[in-house]
Amino acid sequence: MDITNLDQLGDALYEAWRARAPVAPLTERLPQLTIDQAYQVQRRMVACRVGQGERVIGKKIGVTSEVVQDMLNVRQPDFGILLSDMQYQDGSVIPIDTLIAPRAEGEIAFFLKHALRGPGVTAEQVLAATDSVAACFEIVDSRIRDWRITIADTVADNASCGVFAIGAERVAPARLDLAACAMVLQKNGVTVTGGVGAAALGHPAEAVAWLANELGARGIALEANEPILSGSLGALIPVCAGDTLTVRIEGIGSCAVSFA
């Protein structure tokens, strides 16, 4: 498949995001779409948003936990790019009409003291480079109609990035066993899912190391001070207008968002 066709797919996903109008799975039209080609589509979609004034501010890992893999029938992780218009503050009200089919994930966000670039980055190096971690929400969203995604579809769609919010509390990881930190996510005051840090590829730092190495193979670094979302620790939770969500992660802190 030539780059012109891949750019056209990226443009179609950008337009789907802009218009809040989902499209059919790319892999129904192009069953031969490879993951590497899907990342080219992702780059085009992100470039379209940057061309309209957004900035790249961070990265995320997707499909890290078994429960999410089961829900989406996608069996390997992927990554996406966080942009400036995706970020909300802890306690924010998120307009539901800016999204298509949002689902909430409770995660651990990492902030590095210095840049990391793969290949060869280990979880131990990630922890040594980490300045702090925080509880966060990623509100994933899909420009693919009805979440009928394969791994290539979600990769192309910027790993189903929607928006995110990071809790105000930050702690140094040296004080924590991140794999054992328990997460509880409440929706409208009722606990709806939970998990532990180990849900993210066995350890959140392993997930960040995976990301550093995947990005490094494409000439991209994890930069100091940028948010890095390390993957969901529990099930995806659908949200709609009127919902209020709170996530608490043992030893780390909390984050809250609502939708209107």
Q: What is the pLDDT of residues 26-48, one digit of tens each?
A: 999 899 999 999 999 999 999 99
From edge to edge, which strands make up the β-sheet containing 244-249? 93-94, 253-259, 244-249, 182-187, 190-196
Residue type, 1: M
Written as six digits, the tokens of 20 are: 């809040």
Q: Are the CB atoms for 155 and 35 separated by under 8 Å? A: yes
The partner residues of 83 in beta bridges, in order of sequence, read 56
Residue 39 inside a domain? The answer is no
Domain extent at residue 73: 56-259
The residue behind tokens 């290949």 is: 119
Question: What phi, psi does 27 have (nearest 5°)?
Answer: -75, -10
pLDDT tens-digit profile of 131-187?
A: 999 999 999 999 999 999 999 999 999 999 999 999 999 999 988 999 999 999 999
- The torsion of the CA quartet 143, 89, 221, 12, rounded to 10 degrees, works out to 20
- What does the alpha-carbon distance between residue 45 and residue 27 come to, in Å, rounded to a whole number? 17
pTM: predicted TM-score of the whole model, two decimal places: 0.95
- What does the alpha-carbon distance between residue 133 and residue 253 come to, in Å, rounded to a whole number? 9
Q: How many residues does the chain have?
A: 260
- What does the alpha-carbon distance between residue 249 and residue 234 come to, in Å, rounded to a whole number? 12
CB atoms within 10 A of CB 182: 14
Residue 132 inside a domain? The answer is yes
CATH code, 120 = 3.90.850.10
Residue 144 inside a domain? The answer is yes
pLDDT at 235: 93
Written as six digits, the tokens of 255 are: 């984050």
pLDDT tens-digit profile of 182-234?
A: 999 999 999 999 999 999 999 999 999 999 999 999 999 999 999 999 999 99
Domain count of the fold of the chain: 1
> DSSP alpha helices (H): ranges in 86-203?
123-129, 151-156
The partner residues of 116 in beta bridges, in order of sequence, read 222
The partner residues of 132 in beta bridges, in order of sequence, read 111
- What does the alpha-carbon distance between residue 60 and residue 57 come to, in Å, rounded to a whole number? 11
Residue 2 inside a domain? The answer is no
Mean pLDDT over residues 67-91, rounded?
89
Q: Are the CB atoms for 72 and 154 separated by under 8 Å? A: yes
